[in-house]
Amino acid sequence: MNDWTQRTEGIVYQRCSACSHVWYFRRSFCPRCGTTDVAALQASGTGTIYAVTEVMRAPSEPLRAHAPYAIALVDMDEGFRMMAHVERGIDIGGRVRARFVAFGDGIVPQFTRVLP
């Protein structure tokens, strides 16, 4: 299964087989009901901006070349929320789709506007 954390293009999330709760950070159990019966799924990559902020001063030297850049919390269509880079100038409530870009020494998802 493709996931950007393994340097391949894709976003993986998890879903509880017992209570249907979905979440982003990999766990061996459901954070809601505690069952270990969880499945990893590939996200579609589309979502809606929940919050957005601009980073003017990058936290490390390799990232400095990218500043200023925007970071957003995105409510994914599958029902989980994740933090990722986003095209600058995007508004809360905007529809976005993930693409994958070189950033620092790896690749990261970056969300760009989806036209309605």
Q: Does residue 15 bind Zn ion (CB under 5 A)?
A: no
The candidate with the shortest Cα–Cα distance to 26, out of 46, 4, 48, is 4
- Distance CA(82)–CA(66), nearest Å, equals 21
Task: Assess 22 for contact with Zn ion (CB under 5 A).
Answer: no
Task: Write down the least CB distance from residue 3 to Zn ion, Å.
Answer: 21
Site membership for Zn ion, residue 51 (CB under 5 A): no
Residue among 38 and 84 whose Cβ is closer to Zn ion: 38
- Using CB under 5 A as the binding rule, whether residue 32 contacts Zn ion is answered as yes
The H or E element containing residue 56 is: none
- For residue 115, what are the contacts with CB-CB under 8 A and spacing of at least 6? none
Q: Which of residues 2, 7, 8, 19 is near Zn ion by CB under 5 A?
A: 19
